Amino acid sequence: MKTENNLKKKEITSNQNTSYRNFPMVPRVVFGQGSFNQLGDVLLPKRHNSEAPFIFLIDDFFEDKELVGRIPIMFNDEIIFVSAEEEPKTEQVDAIVQRIRETFEESPSGIIGIGGGTLLDLAKAVAILLNNKGKAQDYQGWDLVSKPSLYHVGIPTISGTGAEVSRTTVLLGPEKKLGINSDFTTYDQVILDPDLTITVPKEQWFFTGMDCFIHCIESLNGTYLNAFSQSYGEKALELCIEVFLEDVPIAESRDKLMMASWHGGMSIAYSQVGIAHAMSYGLSYLLGIKHGIGNCLVFQHLEEFYPEGVQLFHRMVKKHSIHLPQGVCANLTQNDFDILVNVALGMEALWENALGKDWKNIMTPERLQEIYQKI
């Protein structure tokens, strides 16, 4: 009896000492093929008045596409087309915010981001900066945003990043590539219309889809894993395997990948990503390689850390005849490798999640450089 009481007491004490994260979720979501048509109804009650516009930030892929005709423009609402050729930058956010402030006397009613992770992140950042002083780079980090952002709606047109659910917006700043991680980053409303992804080219579909697959593998194999993350991660992984390795009818496959992205994003919200992401950040910082393909370039060489995941990945690459560039790091100097290694090792939480508290003894700079040299 005595032992049992002691045990119980210990458990309660440890619970009291643990501080669990209280993170926000997207409060409203519409899902379904063609649901984009409901955007007008969703926005109507959120309009402050006829002078307070909605600003639509849209991937410029759609500039001459029929989707533009379906945007519920009213009064002085504005559409701004943005290229997703490069990943979003802090100065780009500042420029859009300045343009909006100079064009309109009233604060807008809201920001709507339509596109892939690039546009979804840009729209989140613009919504934050419209309600907070200073520059985007001031808020790169954790919980530096003090005032709620402007009402913002996210509408993904490609599936995988989980940016539609996450509490971060990843920006390339003058000094670092780092997210604005805050409770005010998360979207107020998301519209998930799988039909918007019909036009995604095959390789891009694969690379962005693999971002989701790698989120699952890194979350499920991490030391930070808990039942919350696991429940979302397992579902997302199951959906990725259906989409990329089984013969699911195409429309159903678009539905499933969109939900995989959502669940994958939820899984890492309460855990963390791992080695592929840390190393991909280095590639993006030094060479401008985009997130999805950068993850794939790294992940193919991580079999010693994620044996089952990497095996599945190779099967997926083969099934879809995906060509991964080779020799990407072939001509780099030692100085370049030092930058790659420093940026990657700077992502401490990712390494701790992947390899445990002792990660610095496991992943030395030399070992990390050897992996980069294979890419």
190 binds, among Zn ion, ligand NAD, none (CB under 5 to 8 A by kind): none
- Minimal distance, residue 81 CB to ligand NAD, in Å: 10
C-alpha distances (whole Å) from 189 to each of 42, 52, 57, 153, 177 are: 9, 19, 15, 5, 26
- Minimal distance, residue 295 CB to ligand NAD, in Å: 9
C-alpha distances (whole Å) from 176 to each of 80, 147, 186, 284, 285 are: 26, 23, 21, 11, 8
Pairing state of beta strands 177-181 and 170-172? antiparallel
Chain residues in the site for ligand NAD (CB under 6 A): 59, 61, 84, 87-88, 115-119, 121, 157-158, 160-163, 166, 168-170, 196-197, 199-200, 204, 208, 211, 290-292
- The C-alpha atoms of residue 273 and residue 218 are separated, in whole angstroms, by 5
- Minimal distance, residue 374 CB to ligand NAD, in Å: 23
Q: Which amino acid is at 290?
A: K
110 vs 292 by CB, closer to ligand NAD: 292
351 burial class (0-12, 13-18, 19+ CB within 10 angstroms)? Answer: buried
Helix (H) or strand (E) holding 172: strand 170-172
- The C-alpha atoms of residue 59 and residue 146 are separated, in whole angstroms, by 29
- Cα dihedral 145, 154, 25, 118 sign: negative
87 binds, among Zn ion, ligand NAD, none (CB under 5 to 8 A by kind): ligand NAD
193 vs 211 by CB, closer to Zn ion: 211
92 vs 168 by CB, closer to ligand NAD: 168
- Minimal distance, residue 86 CB to ligand NAD, in Å: 8
- Minimal distance, residue 271 CB to ligand NAD, in Å: 13
56 vs 270 by CB, closer to Zn ion: 270
Q: Which residue is nearest to ligand NAD (CB)?
A: 117
Q: Which stretch binds Zn ion (CB under 5 A): 100-108, 134-142, 182-190, 205-213?
A: 205-213
77 vs 87 by CB, closer to ligand NAD: 87
Phi (first) and psi of residue 300, to 5 degrees: -60, -20
- Minimal distance, residue 272 CB to ligand NAD, in Å: 12
222 binds, among Zn ion, ligand NAD, none (CB under 5 to 8 A by kind): none
Phi (first) and psi of residue 346, to 5 degrees: -65, -20
Q: Which stretch binds Zn ion (CB under 5 A): 92-100, 211-219, 220-228, 361-369?
A: 211-219
Q: Do residues 282 and 363 touch, judged by C-beta distance below 8 A?
A: no
Binding residues vs Zn ion (CB under 5 A):
211
